[in-house]
Chain A
């Protein structure tokens, strides 16, 4: 009779078989598991070889880093970073008067601090801070930038430009599109046929036409639609166009959230005798908005990128100031346009990628289903 081998204490874990660990195995499993996979790996390596060294060489290794226009003229086959250093202030502030630029800096600093506060987890009073950033901050920023009160000198909006203008447009769009979008989304889900159709028409109209035609309308045609003599600031008009445009997109995102809330939630709220607005404010919207945060952030990213289109109506945003810099005859060098555009692309990439990372983080946090 064979004796059973029994031990009453836990045996130490054995190391995994040697052919399933280590870099060699990793490469085998991930890169070379099948002929098709090997082909893909070779293809990818070829792609990287084609793209990366050339890009690195142009942007960093051979690039001109110091000096002036003459240094770039001597080496037109690589990036010309002195162009960016020279025009740096214009790219950020546009034509904002030099002695008042601290106001722009201060507004941007407040923004960064506020956003950082909101993004760091477990900071107290996030709700109030969020409300502050959405309601109070825009007012503060407007006062800082525009001035003409509290002894701040007035700076007309046609002096605004560069990256700060890009931020102004994007943030105004963000701040206004969310509430308008929520109202539109609620309107689209309303039981009242007239309200519903008005909202549907409004949303589909703004989603159906290109932003540049909206901007063209708001920038040059609007006075035709207003009574003689009434006019408002051209930046404001572009802002309204951008805000309404993104509000329509926002409305569809929010509607997605509203539809995802189970019917029982609506019925539960109704059975408690809550009024429509109570129901929405206390039960539905908090849940609905939470699940569509990634969608909202994506709309923000789209809005942020779309700000480049204001260039077409003559507002000098970041891309506009870069183009103006490129047109400067002192810098008519082959590498300058590429450098300018590369710089702009980099700035936009950093901002948008940052936002998209944040949205992904939230998405993961909210993802409660089992994932493999």
Chain B
């Protein structure tokens, strides 16, 4: 049977089965559903808030906050605005997250390598460490470290009464570092430091080039170390000579004033406890990642390196780790993100991070939950995405260039 429309009919019927049409339809439906859902939420929130007489908008960010914060890396008083308190909370979060990432990475690498050590006791200790800290909730660990940090420390008053030196005092109000006070010509010290860093950088480049050309190694690390210590010292000496009356760099130590130590740079115990907890917890995961990464490098690589007469440490540094890093970096990134997010548990021990200060105190004073929580979530998202982007870039830089 032939009909004149034979050419059209299959086309018409196959519209339904055309993968492109289908995929377009699915996507269209999904998009409509999402947009409708977003509108639904938005509409409900606005009507509900209007009905209940809840204030909306971000005007409150410019109002006076009226509360104090224990750790203020930027200028902040009770007269500052809520916006300022947001900034303080954000910086505090970044401080603990940044320090935590550094400490956790170092600790994690050490323990990950220890887990593969030839030494039986060290190997077992590393395993025990990993199993214990990985399998106990972080919140509990934070409580533990907070009280473990607080408990053995004396109060500043008892130290003072005993007549002990409290200048570098570590007590249960925190560790009080001497605060540097810069006098005349102190810029010379800074200059020395900058010169040292620049020098180390170029020295490293040069040494690498030389090694590639001639195979001769150069003790870059020692030289850089020497420069970083030595050049600022020379700067200090010069400043001493130039500014004969006043010292270029003095330190102000904490002093007992009433109840409390004043002056100096205090590091509050909350920061220390949170930092230890986050670092110790995350290091257990990083150690496992490092171990898996090192084990993923084929054994032949080690054997080949040994056959070339390369020593164990150098093999690890130049052969194993660079290859292992490719496996390590992606999961390491998610650990960094986890650490950053976990820092929000600070609120349990009074460390004034973003969640505690802004999504805690400020939220309560203003009651504008929707705005504050959205802003807080947005910040965490931004930090996470930035970290991801950076680590992806680093990963692509480290990845093996394949033919």
Contact = CB atoms under 8 A, between A and B. Distances in A.
Contacts of A211: 341
B373 A216 contact: yes
Interface string B129-161: 001101111111001100100000000000000
10 contacts: A211-B341, A221-B369, A221-B373, A224-B44, A224-B370, A301-B135, A308-B139, A319-B137, A356-B135, A372-B299
B120 to A, nearest CB: 4
Interface in A198-219: 198, 204-205, 207-213, 216-217
A204 B385 contact: yes
B27 A195 contact: yes
A71 interface: no
Interface stretch (A5-13, A114-122, A128-136, A186-194): A186-194
B132 A349 contact: yes
Contacts of A198: 30-31, 34
Contact of B26 (A37, A47, A195, A352): A195
Interface stretch (B65-73, B84-92, B376-384): B376-384
Interface stretch (A38-46, A58-66, A89-97, A147-155): A38-46
Interface of A: 30-31, 33, 37, 40-41, 44-45, 47-48, 191-195, 198, 204-205, 207-213, 216-217, 220-221, 223-228, 252, 301, 305-306, 308-309, 311-312, 319, 337-338, 341, 344-345, 348-349, 352-353, 356, 372
Contacts of B373: 213, 216-217, 221
Contact of A44 (B27, B48, B121, B139): B121
Given A195-B26, A224-B44, A224-B48, A345 B370 contact: no
A54 B392 CA distance: 45
A170 to B, nearest CB: 11
B119 A31 contact: yes
Contacts of B31: 194, 198
B51 interface: yes
Interface string B360-387: 0000000001100100110011001100
A87 to B, nearest CB: 17
Interface in B233-291: none
Contact of A208 (B47, B125, B380): B380
B122 interface: yes
B332 interface: no
A204 B369 CA distance: 23
A338 B140 CA distance: 10
B100 to A, nearest CB: 14
A213 B347 CA distance: 12
A44, A208, A213, A216: residue with the most chain B Cβ atoms closer than 10 Å: A208
For B28, B51, B373, the residue with the greatest tally of chain A CB atoms inside 10 Å of its CB is B373
B137 A305 contact: yes
Given A224-B44, A348-B135, A348-B137, A210 B380 contact: yes
B395 interface: no
Contacts of A227: 44
Interface in B30-68: 30-31, 34, 41, 44-45, 47-49, 51
A212 B23 contact: no
Nearest to B136: A345
Given A195-B26, A213-B377, A308 B140 contact: yes
B96 interface: no
A66 B173 CA distance: 37
A309 B355 contact: no
A345 B131 CA distance: 12
Contacts of A216: 359, 373
B283 to A, nearest CB: 16
- B119, B120, B125, B370 — which one has the most chain A CB atoms within 10 A of its CB? B119
Contacts of B26: 192, 195
Given A37-B119, A198-B30, A212-B344, A225 B45 contact: yes
Contact of B136 (A40, A209, A220, A305): A305
A337 B342 CA distance: 23
Contact of A194 (B30, B122, B125): B30
Given A191-B23, A221-B370, A349-B132, A309 B139 contact: yes
Contacts of A205: 381
Contacts of B350: none
A353 B131 contact: yes
B345 interface: yes
B337 interface: yes
A45 B370 contact: no
B281 to A, nearest CB: 10
Nearest to B302: A372
B292 to A, nearest CB: 10
B48 A228 contact: yes
A192 B337 contact: no
Given A31-B120, A192-B26, A198-B34, A210 B134 contact: no
Contact of A41 (B49, B122, B347): B122
Given A44-B125, A348-B140, A207 B337 contact: yes
B120 A47 contact: no
A220 B125 contact: no
Given A192-B23, A195-B26, A213 B376 contact: yes
